[in-house]
Amino acid sequence: MKKTALITGGSRGIGFGIAVELAKARFNLVINGVRKQEAVQPILDGLKMFGVKVAYAQGNISDKLDREKIFQTVISEFGHLNVLVNNAGIAPRERKDILEATEDIFDEVLSTNLKGPYFLTQLFANHMVQQKKENPEFSGCIINVSSVSATVASVNRGEYCISKAGIAMATKLWAARLGEFGIPVYEIQPGVIKTDMTAGVTEKYDHLFEQGISIQKRWGTPEDVGKVAAAMATGMLPYSTGQVVLVDGGMTIQRL
């Protein structure tokens, strides 16, 4: 039976880069996003060109009912899930110094970036545990996409940093809880990746790369992240549950 992966926020940016690499690895896909299906249909059709089945699950992961609809879409389309990729996330709609940040934006970011993935994981973790009990040969894993912002402070987007630090702890928690069932949980921490989310700061980071912000003097790409996710999803890191892989070009290595 072909394996199935759900990628939240999988129709653009890092999520799409992961979707492409998992399609290359022959996973059937469920792509989640907030846009209507007509808007993403060309993207879904492109993924189908890899010879896999692709379904779309529209929904906002911060909403409990939407999370349940996403779950039902996966089960109705494929009957099971092998890989959950918690990728969807948002930046604060306004970058404000933490001395001036608002509760509304804090709540919005935390609800999408932390609460949503946490409880979506709960839904699918229970499903995977049940699959494992029914079939000991069942293979499943969970991949959280956080950010170097889990450990690197940006005082003009504190809510984002806190949400990613929370995901880092969630990775450890779920790894500890699911270990007895042989379901590994991994985390990817991307650095500066060229996506629509970073389009507005292109000039800033072009300059920082020239100044040596990272050891590898280039932007990261969604493909860079996708290749790591594919290694995790295909079982290439079988004894590394709870571990973090940084995809940041060496940005977080302390240097003198």
Active site residues: 160
**Beta carbons of 226 and 42 less than 8 angstroms apart:** no
Buried/exposed code over 98-110 (b: 16+ C-beta within 10 A; e: otherwise): eeebeeebbebbb
Residue with tokens 């199935």: 4
R_g over Cα of the chain? 18
Rounded distance between C-alpha atoms, residue 241 and residue 233, angstroms: 12
Name the CA dihedral angle for 205, 206, 208, 212, rounded to a multiple of 10 degrees. 130
According to DSSP H, which parts of the chain are helical?
13-24, 37-48, 64-78, 103-110, 116-134, 158-178, 202-211, 222-233
Rounded distance between C-alpha atoms, residue 235 and residue 253, angstroms: 27
